[in-house]
A and B are shown apart, each in its own frame.
Chain A
Amino acid sequence: MKMKKMLSLGLSLLMCATLVTGCSGNDNSASESGSKTLKIAGLDGGYGTKGWEEVIKKFEEKTGAKVEYTFDKKISDILRPKMTSGKDVPDVIYLTVGAVGGLTDTLIKEKQIADISALLDETIPGEDVKVKDKVLTNFFEGATADPYGDGTLRLAPLNNAPCGLFYNAGLFKEKGWEVPTDWDGMFELGEKAKKEGIYLFTYPTAGYFDAFFTSLLNATAGPEVYAKLIAYDTEAWKLPEVKEAFEIVGRLKDYTLPTTVANANGDNFTKNQQAVIDGDALFIPNGTWLPGEMAATTPEGFEWGMTGIPAAKAGGDSYSTNFVEQMYVPEKAENKELALQFLAYCYSDEAADLFYKYGALNTEETEKTGKDVYNAGYLIPIKGSEDKVAEADRFMYTLSEKGVKTNSATFMAAEAVEGVTLTGETGILFGSVNSVMNGDKTVDQWYNESVDAVSKIAEANAKADK
């Protein structure tokens, strides 16, 4: 009897005990290896992770530091709980503003990104040069690097990737068409192409309007007004030259490939890109990754072309958005000094070479040759980096030589307003483009809703400043 009692009690206790197994902490590993462990987390995106792995290996050799790293396609979801709890926060994060999951955007709004202005005076490990003497300084200015606009550096640029309008250069030669430099020319070409059953324009998803539409705003309103626009200046948004950009998009409606909106989602956007290759549409806003992304379905001998966003009027300025990938140090990181050292190392010649050499794995070529073949990776914005670009890709990096001016698509940091999203694929400013293109909203509705959203954010900003 006693035996049975003991047994049942013992078994039930065991059952309770197993509940907590696996909950034991394993935090001691970090403290044992000392403060010389750098934690890096980043996106496993279009450029793959091989470049990172190589750079990290060299950094470890050079400095004797130990690096733990995680790269994942859903890094946003992995980091979220860590950032919320404030434990095990990475020292360096690579995730660009606007990436799905909104992690970086939220960190900026929550003022959780450390001031890394000291990076510019850091000496690059293995070289005698300071970072500021090595990099292309215009990449370290503006909202992409300094989202608070207070002269501090928060986001370190990792890539120099111009975005613009891509087209089928072979088709233009065949038809004897010129690539227009202003919007009147664009619409004239649109009429000409229409007669041949070709549409002037298509876009992958509304999210790509961040690069396209901000360049267009620069083209119609000029850089001075644009600086006010991204700082949520309501009066600037009400200027007629700002509305002109909205109207140009409205006019594009009649020249846009009709299936664009239905394919403008994560599952089908490549169909819109394919339309340019197939000759169903002429122009598509995109970035330097496009030729690689579409390589599998591009016929041999196809020739890509790229141009800036056309000027508002003949003789005006044409713009192209520079899509810089960003890395940063979170406020709650434990190892900020080592993190700065790593960031500085990313701007060394050695790291820049590795980053460019090892992009994403080219699966087709790898299969064919049996050896690992890599696409081009990040082009680190240091002086002379553009010389690394392969001859075939050079056309994407020579826009500035043709007089196209650069623009950055990032808006300044702002207060979060519940229910009001301005930028991003689901935001009012870019998301509504789908409605304009299929006639569900008029240009006026889109414009008024955007101005309304801007003024709500401006109000929240003003309230927070008090």
Chain B
Amino acid sequence: MNKTKEKRRFVILCLAPALILFSVFMIYPTINVFLMSTLRWGGFSDFKEFVGIQNFLILFEDMNFIRAFQNTIFVIVIVTVFTLALAILFAAILVREKIKGQNFFRVIFYIPNILSIVVIGAIFSAIYDPSTNGLLNSFLSLFHEDGWIGVQFLGNQSIVMYSIAFALIWQAIGYYMVMYMASMSSIPAHYYEAAELDGCGKIKQFFSITLPLIWTNIRTTLTFFVISTINLSFLLVQVMTTGGPDGASRVLLFYLYDQAYNNASYGYGMAIGAITFLFSFLLSAVINKITERDDLEF
């Protein structure tokens, strides 16, 4: 009897540090964001006015916010779809096929992931250079007559988000590819041998064996996609376009920063933070729910 009590005390004591840290650095700040989102406050003074849900009401009429929200959803969708498809494809090729320089490709694909976002910004500044000397434009100018001024990758409101999304896909593929490769290589080879004897082609094998068996892994990465795209798109936009031209590439966190810091509306910024939090939470939950399948074991 005494023993179980003692054991419980020990367990509680062992858990305490983690729990305390988690509450101080995760739970408390999160609650604080929601509390501050009900204030009219610039961030520094003692003058804090409670305005209830006023900040949220303004948000839904603020076209800049809606545009930033649209941009964020756009980036999440585009980046997830393309990165997922390409990463799985490359992983499947590298794991299942015998190609020369397999390890070389593995490293090459992974490199963008270890670069800092500032470096990625600088690399893509050279790629997207709007003059006809830019990396992409000098190639494109082969198909155009003289006097062509080049595609304004970061200077055209209708292209800029694609340019940002492409850079994000480029940097994310390697990371997810390695994750998928890890789970693919643990699939026993005899499944594929059996399938081959039954006359299955490579594509059929991929959809009937590989995909179902790495499904749990894909589900986990989908949540990663949502979280990391929200964060990285902010950093990349901050470095590459400063939200421009004229706010066309603002994403949620950029608008949060802009309002809370540059416009002295800290409470309003926190309201954007609260919406971002709820949105990513809900989106992850929904994705988790609709991708639920029976677990397959080998």
A interface, CB within 8 angstroms of B: 5, 8-9, 12-13, 15-16, 18-19, 76, 80, 83-84, 86, 101-103, 105-107, 109-112, 205-206, 258-268, 271, 416-421, 424-426, 431-435, 438, 440-441
Contacts and interface: CB of A to CB of B under 8 A. Distances in A.
9 contacts: A112-B45, A258-B152, A259-B152, A261-B245, A416-B264, A418-B58, A418-B62, A418-B265, A425-B242
B262 interface: yes
B279 interface: no
A102 B152 contact: no
A418 B10 CA distance: 51
Given A84-B44, A418-B62, A440-B245, A266 B128 contact: no
Looking at A9, A111, A264, A268, which has the most chain B CB atoms within 10 Å of its CB? A268
A102 B262 contact: yes
B156 interface: yes
Contacts of B259: 418-419, 421
Interface stretch (B15-23, B93-101, B103-111): B15-23
B116 to A, nearest CB: 14
B38 interface: no
Nearest to B245: A434
A19 B43 contact: no
A419 B125 CA distance: 29
B42 A416 contact: yes
A263 B6 CA distance: 67
Contacts of B64: 419
Contact of B246 (A8, A102, A258, A432): A432
Nearest to A17: B17
B157 A435 contact: yes
A106 B155 CA distance: 30
Interface of B is mostly: loop
Given A9-B10, A267-B239, A84 B262 contact: no
B263 interface: yes
A107 B44 contact: yes
A9 B129 CA distance: 63
A86 B240 CA distance: 34
Contacts of A419: 58-59, 62, 64-65, 259, 263, 265, 268
Given A84-B44, A416-B42, A440-B157, A106 B261 contact: yes
A266 B261 contact: no
Contacts of B45: 110-112
A426 B247 contact: yes
B265 A416 contact: yes
A271 B137 CA distance: 16
A266 B10 contact: no
Interface string B8-45: 00100110110011000000000000000000001111
A267 B121 contact: yes
Contact of B150 (A109, A259, A431, A435): A259
Contact of A5 (B6, B44, B262): B6
Contact of B264 (A110, A259, A267, A433): A110
B243 A426 contact: yes
Given A9-B10, A259-B130, A268-B125, A109 B16 contact: no
Contacts of B258: 421, 426
B13 A109 contact: no
Contacts of B250: 426
B274 to A, nearest CB: 14
B243 A438 contact: no
Q: Give the top 6 A-B pairs by smallest Cβ distance, nearest first.
A: A262-B155, A262-B130, A261-B155, A434-B245, A12-B13, A419-B62
Contacts of B10: 8-9, 12
A109 B155 CA distance: 33
Given A262-B153, A426-B258, A110 B246 contact: no
B149 A265 contact: no
A91 B21 CA distance: 34
A421 B269 CA distance: 13
Given A206-B246, A262-B130, A418-B62, A84 B43 contact: yes
Interface in B221-263: 239-248, 250, 258-259, 261-263
A101 B238 CA distance: 12
